[in-house]
């Protein structure tokens, strides 16, 4: 009978057969898929797996810390933490076009990853957290030559340039199966049920030019929003984080006037975005309770100096997209 423990045993045998004595490298993003792939492969081959975690400076608050705690400290996985934020920021200077920003972030990511991979000459395999829907999607894209509305960032091109064989142990699984597998492998519930986060990260949530200061403000505003979503429950005791499919803050580089104490402020605006969707192709804006929105707004304005106005995005997809860029 099909059970998760049986599945894990079989997957481990398969990975060991495939890889033999060779070493594996994996790009850890903090997302569900690469995390579950890392946990599974580590279970199979232990120290022969090395993960590379590239911090492009556009991650959520404490993301690097969280990944290192979970994988390096708790699971004993070998993880190389690369702080490449300086390089990414330099390359993004003066760039305002969303697609251009995506291209730069994608290209730099590959660059940094390759640089790290070359330091591991014994690695013969590149592991990726490709899941079944990704396989379908890219097959469709090839035949239809579908014009992409947004060039979705992935690490395509890496195996070719690095001469690595591909290891994709999640290729046959749907998202909910990947989550079950993650739980069975001992990953925390909050990580396994995390909202999706785009590859270019905050790079597409800071409108126009990306600056480190903007990213720092946005990270803190976003963390407050997420915390309030996690802590606020509906009548059935479900958190609004779990009731929404994706939620985040967006940084608007426009200043508006406010008052604080006796003084006038002239600061930036943050937009909150929360959607409910099953396929991310269409989405409804989430009907969040006013008290949750109010608390989040108060906290952001009080705690994040530099933000004096918070607005809520009530646009559906279509015609709006989920991300603002
Ligand atoms: P949109 O904004 O197109 O987003 O409605 C649909 C889903 O795709 C994610 N998204 C991306 N993911 N690289 C990614 O890896 C990207 O460039 C990118 N752009 C959008 C978005 O977060 C949402 O889940």
> What's the CATH number where 19 sits?
3.40.50.620
Let me know whether 17 and 160 are in one domain.
yes
The predicted structure's pLDDT at residue 138: 79
Q: Evaluate whether residue 199 is within a structural domain.
A: no
Average pLDDT over residues 281-296: 98
User: What residues make up the domain containing 57?
Assistant: 4-192
Query: What is the DSSP code string of 222-263?
Result: HHHHHHHHHH-B-TTS-BHHHH-SEEEEEEEEEEEEEEETTE
Q: Evaluate whether residue 321 is within a structural domain.
A: no
pLDDT-derived band of residue 1, with 50, 70 and 90 as boundaries?
Answer: confident
Let me know whether 151 and 9 are in one domain.
yes
Asked if 92 and 56 count as a contact pair (C-beta separation under 8 A), the reply is: no
Let me know whether 167 and 216 are in one domain.
no
Q: Evaluate whether residue 281 is within a structural domain.
A: yes
pLDDT-derived band of residue 113, with 50, 70 and 90 as boundaries?
Answer: very high
Lowest mean pLDDT among 42-51, 149-158, 171-180: 149-158
| Predicted complex ipTM | 0.99
Of the residues 151, 168, 192, the one at which a domain ends: 192
**Is residue 203 a known part of a binding site?**
no
Is 153 a residue whose pLDDT tops 80?
A: no
Question: What's the DSSP call for residue 283?
Answer: B
Whether the pTM exceeds 0.80: the reply is yes
Let me know whether 237 and 264 are in one domain.
yes
Let me know whether 175 and 236 are in one domain.
no
**Residue minimizing CA distance to atom 14 of ligand 1:** 198
Q: Evaluate whether residue 323 is within a structural domain.
A: no
Average pLDDT over residues 31-49: 97
Q: How many domains does the chain have?
A: 2
**Distance (Å) of CA 132 to CA 15, 137, 277, 292:** 17, 9, 19, 36
Average pLDDT over residues 41-45: 98
Q: Evaluate whether residue 43 is within a structural domain.
A: yes
Model confidence over 209-265: pLDDT tens digits?
Answer: 999 999 999 999 999 999 999 999 999 999 999 999 999 999 999 999 999 989 999
Let me know whether 31 and 148 are in one domain.
yes
Let me know whether 125 and 103 are in one domain.
yes
| Percentage above 70 pLDDT, the chain | 94
The predicted structure's pLDDT at residue 2: 80
Question: Alpha carbon 215 to chain centroid distance?
Answer: 15
Q: Evaluate whether residue 322 is within a structural domain.
A: no
The Cα–Cα gap between 19 and 152 comes to 29
Q: Evaluate whether residue 113 is within a structural domain.
A: yes
Q: Evaluate whether residue 24 is within a structural domain.
A: yes
Let me know whether 24 and 140 are in one domain.
yes
Let me know whether 266 and 177 are in one domain.
no
Is 150 a residue whose pLDDT tops 70?
A: no
Of the residues 134, 165, 192, the one at which a domain ends: 192
How many CA within 13 A on the CB side of residue 62? Answer: 9
Q: Which residues line ligand 1 (CB under 6 A)?
A: 102, 150, 152-153, 196, 198-200, 246, 280, 317, 321-323
Place of tokens 């142990």: 169
Q: Which atom of ligand 1 is nearest to the CA of 246?
A: 24
Let me know whether 219 and 303 are in one domain.
yes
Asked if 93 and 199 count as a contact pair (C-beta separation under 8 A), the reply is: no
- The CATH number of the domain where 282 resides is what? 3.30.300.10
Let me know whether 168 and 242 are in one domain.
no
Let me know whether 211 and 277 are in one domain.
yes
Is 157 a residue whose pLDDT tops 90?
A: no
Query: What is the DSSP code string of 132-162?
Result: HHHHHHHHHHHHH-PPPSS-----TTHHHHH
Cis peptide before 318 (omega within 30 of 0): yes
Tell which one of 198, 207, 274, 284 to mutate to probe ligand 1, the residue whose CB is within 8 A of the most ligand atoms: 198
Model confidence over 52-99: pLDDT tens digits?
Answer: 999 999 999 999 999 999 999 999 999 999 999 999 999 999 999 999
Of the residues 139, 157, 192, the one at which a domain ends: 192
């Amino acid at each position: 009978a099909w059970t998760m423990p049986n599945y894990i045993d079989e997957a481990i045998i398969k990975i060991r057969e495939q890889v033999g004595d060779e070493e594996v490298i994996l790009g850890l993003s903090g997302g569900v898929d690469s995390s579950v792939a890392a946990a599974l492969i580590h279970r199979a081959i232990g120290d022969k797996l090395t993960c590379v975690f590239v911090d492009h400076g556009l991650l959520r608050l404490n993301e690097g810390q969280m990944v290192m705690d979970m994988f390096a400290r708790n699971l004993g996985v070998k993880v190389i933490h690369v702080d490449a934020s300086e390089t990414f920021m330099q390359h993004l200077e003066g760039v305002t076009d969303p697609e251009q920003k995506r291209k730069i972030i994608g290209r730099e990511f590959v660059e940094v990853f390759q640089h790290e991979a070359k330091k591991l000459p014994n690695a013969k395999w590149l592991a990726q957290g490709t899941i079944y829907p990704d396989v379908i999607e890219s097959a469709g894209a090839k035949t239809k030559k579908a014009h992409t509305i947004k060039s979705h960032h992935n690490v395509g091109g890496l195996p070719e340039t690095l001469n690595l064989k591909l290891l994709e142990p999640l290729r046959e699984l749907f998202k909910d199966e990947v989550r079950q597998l993650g739980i069975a492998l001992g990953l925390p519930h909050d990580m396994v049920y995390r909202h999706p986060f785009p590859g270019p990260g905050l790079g597409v949530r800071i409108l126009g030019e990306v600056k480190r200061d903007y990213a720092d403000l946005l990270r803190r505003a976003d963390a407050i929003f997420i915390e309030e979503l996690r802590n606020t429950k509906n009548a059935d005791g479900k958190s609004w984080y779990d009731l929404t499919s994706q939620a985040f803050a967006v940084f608007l580089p426009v200043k508006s006037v406010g008052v604080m104490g006796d003084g006038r402020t002239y600061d930036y605006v943050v937009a909150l975005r929360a959607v409910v969707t099953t396929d991310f192709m269409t989405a409804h804006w989430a009907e969040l309770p006013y008290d949750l929105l109010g608390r989040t707004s108060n906290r952001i304005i009080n705690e994040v100096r530099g933000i004096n106005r918070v607005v809520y995005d009530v646009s559906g997809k279509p015609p709006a997209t989920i991300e603002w860029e």
